[in-house]
Structure 1
Amino acid sequence: MKLFEWTIGIIKLFLRPLRAAAPAAVLSACLAAFVPAPGQAGIELVFGTYAADKPTATVKKYQPFLSFLAGRMSEELGEPVSIRLKVAKEYGEGIRQLASGEVDFARFGPASYVHVMKENPGIRIVAMESKNGRKRFKGVIVVHKDSSVQAMEDLAGLSFAFGDELSTIGRYLAQEYLLNAGISSADLYEFAYLGRHDLVGEAVGAGRYSAGALKESTYKKLVAKGVPIRVLASFDNVTKPWLASSQMPENVLEAMRKVMLSSENEEIVRRISKNGFLLGADQDYDIIRRAMERSLAF
C-alpha cells in the first residue's frame, strides 16, 4: 500500500504541468514509468484501460479505487498487493495489452471484450459493473440543441460523428440503430470516427456534425458544461466488464472478484461503478456480438 501511495504521489507531481492538455501518449508513458521498486515483496499488478475521455480525467477517476482494491486484496491474500495504472492512447492498443498479458487486468467496453476474446480466449471476466442492479445502461445519439432534426429518419443526407472504430456505443450499437431506422453509410452526406466520446459531443455542439453517438454519462457532463446538444434517441448497452489476463493466478483473480462483489456500498467503489459490481458471464455480451455483425452492413 505504501509503495502504491508513493507512486500515486509522484504521478500527481508529474501531472500538474500536464493537466491542462496532456497528450494521451505522453501521459501513458509517464504512468508506465512508475514500476514498483526491485525486490519489493508481494504481488505487483498492472491495471490497463484506454482513454475514452480525457486521459487526465481517466487517471483521476481510477487512482482512488485502485488504491482501495490493492488494500483489500492485500488483506484477502495475506501479502502486499501493489497496482499501477497504464493508460492506452486508443482502444486497439488497450486490447493488445490485455491479450498479450502486458497488463494483468483491465476495464473494457463490451465490444472491446468481444475483440480481446478473439485474440486470447483465456481472458476471464472478474465482474461486471452494475447499473441500478442491472447489466444494462444507455447510449445516446445527439444533435445540436437548435437542430431541426426530430427523428432518426431526418438524418438522411446529413453528417454523423462516431467515436472510436472499436467503440460499443460510439460505433457498433449506433450503426445498428441507424440501420434499423433505414439509414446506412450511403444515406449520409459524410461520417467520421473522432475517438473519444467527449470529442463527439463537442463536435456536434460546435456544428461540425449534424449528429453523433456517445455514452449517456458523457452527454450529461457536456450539457452541464454548456455544450448545446440534446438527445435524439437512446439505446441499450451492456455494462462494462472488468477482465483478468489469461496469466493471472486463480487465487489472485478470486481475491479481486471477492473484493469487488462485496464492496457495492463503499463510497470509493461508487465513484467507479455507481451501484457496485455483479457476476458476469460471456453470454451477457451476445447482444453486442449481434450488433457488431449487423454493423457490417452499414
Structure 2
Amino acid sequence: MARSQFPTSRRSYLAAVGATLATAGCLGFGQGSAQTIEMGVVPDVDPDTAIQQNTGLAEYLENQLDVTIDLSTSADYAGMVRSMASGQVDIAYFGGVSYVLAHHRADAEPVVVGSKDGSTDWHSVFITHESADVAAMEDITASPGQYDLVFGDPISTSGTVMPTYYLQTEHDTSPADFASSTHVGAHDATAKTVANGSGDVGALNARIYDSLVEDGTLGDGVTEVWRTPGFPDYPWAVAPSVGEGRIDAVRDAFTSLDESDNADILETQNVDEYVPVTHDDFTSLNDGVEMAGLLDDGGQTTG
C-alpha cells in the first residue's frame, strides 16, 4: 500500500526524510536489493491535497510494477529537484520548469505527460477579484502599477515562469511594473489569495483554476480575465536509479491507465490519458529556462 511521507508539519517531514535517507539511501529500482520506489510530487496544491491526489495512482503503480511505493512531496518545487539530484527520489511529478532543471542537474528523463481533450498543452490563467474593478487584461496592463500581482512558486511553469513570459511577449508588461509581485506557493493558494481580496491579480494553472471554480471553492467574486497560449508542462520523469530496463515498464504502466477501469484515478489527475514523451518535447521550454538564467542559480530557488 502506498503511504504518505508527509506529516502535518512540512518542517518535521523534511527533517525526518533527510535523516532516514542519510542512513539508508534511496531504495530505488536500480539497486536490485529492494523493490521500493521513492515517488515524489511537486506541491502544486497544498501538501496534504498533493498526497491525496496521487495516492490512488501510487497504489495502481504498485500493482502494475509489483513494487512498494513511498509517496512524498516537498516544501517547494526546487525541493523536488534537489531530492532527485541527491538520489532521494526515483520517479517524480514535476512542473515543466522544475523538470528541465532536474534534467540538467539530475539526468532526469520524462516518460509521460497527461493528455486532456486530445491535447497535452497546459495554460496559465490570469484572475482578478471584483473589488479590483477589472473587466479585461488590457485594463490591468494599461495601468499595472495600480495592482498587486500574485504568483505561485518561483519556478512553477504555469504559476510564474510562463505567465511572466506571456505578460512580456503578449502585453509588453513585466511583473516589476506592478505595485507589488508576491509568490505564495501552490496554485490554490494563489487563487485563494485573490479570492479573499489580498491580491488584485493572480496567475495560476488553468486546469486547477477550472477545478476550483467547478467545486465552488472561490465563490462569485473571482473572474478570469485572460488565458495564455498553450505550453508543455507537468511530466512524470524518472531518475537514473530506475535503470534502463525498467523505464519502459514505468511508461507502460502510465499509458495503460484506462478510463473504463481507472476513471477515478485519471479524474483525480485531471487528465484523460497519459502519453509518452521525450526530452525533445520540452525543447522550447528548455530554451526558455536557459534564457531566463534559471540554470545559473545552483538550484537554490525556493518558494
> Where on the TM-score scale, by shorter chain, does this alignment land: which range?
0.7 to 0.9
Match of 2:86 among 79, 95, 100: 100
TM-score by length of 1: 0.82
Preserved contact between residue 202 and residue 222 of structure 1 (Cα < 8 Å): no
Equivalent residue runs for 1:147-296 within 5 Å: 147-155=132-140, 156-157=144-145, 158-180=147-169, 181-223=171-213, 224-227=216-219, 228-235=221-228, 236-265=230-259, 266-270=262-266, 271-292=268-289
Q: Which amino acid aligns with 1:164?
A: D
Partner of 2:298: none
**How many residues are matched?**
273
TM-score by length of 2: 0.80
Partner of 1:212, secondary structure, is: strand
Partner of 2:118, secondary structure, is: coil
Q: Which amino acid aligns with 1:232?
A: V
How far, CA to CA, are the matches of 1:135 and 1:217 in structure 2? 12
Preserved contact between residue 176 and residue 294 of structure 1 (Cα < 8 Å): no
Preserved contact between residue 269 and residue 276 of structure 1 (Cα < 8 Å): no
CA RMSD of aligned residues (A): 2.8
How far, CA to CA, are the matches of 1:222 and 1:272 in structure 2? 14
Preserved contact between residue 31 and residue 86 of structure 1 (Cα < 8 Å): no
Preserved contact between residue 149 and residue 175 of structure 2 (Cα < 8 Å): no
Partner of 1:137, secondary structure, is: coil
What displacement does 1:117 show?
Answer: 1.5
Preserved contact between residue 39 and residue 91 of structure 2 (Cα < 8 Å): yes
Match of 2:74 among 70, 75, 88: 88
Q: Which amino acid aligns with 1:100?
A: S
| Structure 1 unmatched ranges of 5 or more | 75-80
Mean Cα displacement is larger for which, 209-218 or 281-290? 281-290
Preserved contact between residue 173 and residue 288 of structure 1 (Cα < 8 Å): no
Q: Deviations over 1:65-90 (max 9, x none)?
A: 1111111112xxxxxx1111121111
What displacement does 1:199 show?
Answer: 1.4
Preserved contact between residue 153 and residue 160 of structure 2 (Cα < 8 Å): yes
Preserved contact between residue 157 and residue 233 of structure 2 (Cα < 8 Å): no
| Structure 2 unmatched ranges of 5 or more | 28-32, 294-303
Structure 1 residues 159, 292: closer, same or farther in 2, change over 3 A?
farther
What displacement does 1:283 show?
Answer: 2.3
Partner of 1:149, secondary structure, is: coil
Match of 1:140 among 121, 125, 144: 125
Mean Cα displacement is larger for which, 238-247 or 26-35? 26-35
What displacement does 1:273 show?
Answer: 4.7
State the identity %: 23
Is 1:124 aligned to 2:105, yes or no? no
How far, CA to CA, are the matches of 2:70 and 2:263 in structure 1? 21
Q: Which amino acid aligns with 2:118?
A: G
Preserved contact between residue 261 and residue 279 of structure 1 (Cα < 8 Å): yes
What displacement does 1:268 show?
Answer: 4.3
